Amino acid sequence: MKSIIPLLLSFVFIQSSLAQETIYVGNTELEVREVITGLDVPWEMKWGPDGFLWITERDGLVSRINVVTGEKHVVLDITNQVWQSSESGLLGMEIHPNFNEGSPFIFLVYTYLSGGQKEKVVCYEYDFDNDQLINEVILLDNIPANPTHAGSRLLALDDLTMLITTGDVQDWMDSQDLDALSGKTLRMSINTEDGNGGSIPDDNPIPGSYVWSWGHRNAQGLALAPNGKIYSSEHGPSNDDELQILIPGGNYGWPNVQGYCDNQWVDYGYAEDLSNSYTEMDYCEDNNIIEAIWSSGSSTIATSDLIWYDNPAIPEFQNTLLMTVLKDKNLVRFTMSEDGSQVDSYTEFFNNEWGRLRDICVSPDGKIYLATNGYSWPSQPPNEIIELNPVANNSSIPESNYFDDVKVLNNNGSYTITSSLCDYSVYDMTGRLIIESLEKETIFLSSTDLSSGLYNIILKKGDDAKMLQLAF
């Protein structure tokens, strides 16, 4: 969807907790607003099909955030199951692509203690009636864990498989061991309809193995581009944070390859297989190493999550790769070559505006949400979510005019909505789909059919959409 524009009608008044400020990206003015603060290390954010922001907090909470009001709905509390120490805890999350089509499942990865430090990938079902995640199913267990280098980013793909990054958990040579799950990108099926959720896909590069790529140190960013390329951001030791393009069966070289295959900045304390007579470049050639497409070089910036921004709302970001940064406290924009295989430019934004940036999420209308983790390691307050909203009247923002003719008539608590021919759906604040209809020009919603409360009404025509929020 290119242009979902939230509309708070005159009869629905919601007070923002903080006054808005503005910031510019090129010629585009962005309104900056705190959505919610006082969180305990928000680690993952996903835009839900219910119009809510789903987040994890490292101590063991999963919540749905109403980005308009800042209201927090805790849908899962597993603080008694999660082992949280330093960088470990409840980390990655993914929403099943068919959440509203019969697969209301949420995938999580967290660390725990059981005869040592371990990590697991699990699936929960969302209970719409009670606004809770229920029925934990373990999909993959006994992944090695550690207080640091846990990886744990999740990414669902169009073929109903899911990628999972795992860190080297300080046993860096395991990254090259194909029998070890650490230091890898893993791939599993999430096709719940055929009963294969959690199984090893038949087309994985190593038969009978979850391992999809290897030679990783601590990848904490995954992004899928429209052309199908999968990008990964990875923490280096004291040098060579990396941006990579993942391919199945690819070896990315850690610990013997750090950054580019160039014999520069190699930390031989990790590169145990290298010597003066057998260099990084030699290792790359002998092992068909997939070289990073970008490296931070002699120092690190502490890369975190990635997202492909494919929206006209912020023209300066459209069709670019955005990366959150922890140590250097900024957002990085990568512009890519036409085929997406090379980095054309690297630009920093928002330097030290909000401290360490852990995660990024984009709403369908192009708003950016940033999860902050304080100004110093290990993740001191403030821990909050920041909204960057393109100013609606900014002339630089291309806007669809398909829904410019929308009219809403309130008649004693019932509403008549008229627009150009479109599909529409109605969601309650738990994310439940209440009404869905195709090809309507007039929509009638009665208070006799809907209980009191707020509802999101989404109008859609092709790639154009508009969201109305109505009170009954």
Per-residue pLDDT of the chain (472 residues; tens, 9 = 90+): 333 333 333 223 233 334 458 888 888 889 999 999 999 999 999 999 999 999 999 999 999 999 999 999 999 999 999 999 999 999 999 999 999 989 999 999 999 999 999 999 999 999 999 999 999 999 999 999 999 999 999 999 999 999 999 999 999 999 999 999 999 999 999 998 877 789 999 999 999 999 999 999 999 999 999 999 999 999 999 999 999 999 999 999 999 999 999 999 999 999 999 999 999 999 999 999 999 999 999 999 999 999 999 999 999 999 999 999 999 999 999 999 999 999 999 999 999 999 999 999 999 999 999 999 999 987 788 999 999 999 864 433 344 567 777 888 887 778 888 888 888 888 776 556 788 888 888 888 887 778 877 787 888 887 677 778 787 8
What is the token pair recorded at 291? Answer: 């070289």
Q: In 3D, which of 348, 235, 249 has the Cα closest to residue 292?
A: 235
The pLDDT score that the predictor gives to residue 12 is: 32
The pLDDT score that the predictor gives to residue 430 is: 58
Residues listed for the chain = 472
Give yes or no for a cis peptide into 97 (omega within 30° of 0): no
Residues of the chain with CATH 2.120.10.30: 20-390
The pLDDT score that the predictor gives to residue 197 is: 87
- Do 344 and 337 touch, CB atoms closer than 8 A? yes
Answer CATH for 20-390 from 2.120.10.30, 3.40.50.620, 3.30.950.10, 3.40.640.10:
2.120.10.30
The pLDDT score that the predictor gives to residue 398 is: 41
The pLDDT score that the predictor gives to residue 209 is: 98
- Do 307 and 223 touch, CB atoms closer than 8 A? yes
Strand order, beta sheet including 28-36: 21-25, 28-36, 385-390, 368-372, 357-362
> Which position has the token pair 């199908």?
228
The pLDDT score that the predictor gives to residue 95 is: 98
**Residue 223: DSSP 8-state:** E
CA 385/CA 372 separation, integer angstroms: 6
Please give the CATH number for the structural domain made up of 407-471: 2.60.40.3080
pTM of the model: 0.82
- Do 295 and 301 touch, CB atoms closer than 8 A? no
- Do 374 and 327 touch, CB atoms closer than 8 A? no
Residues of the chain with CATH 2.60.40.3080: 407-471
CA 356/CA 372 separation, integer angstroms: 6
Q: Dihedrals φ, ψ of 283, to 5°?
A: -60, -40
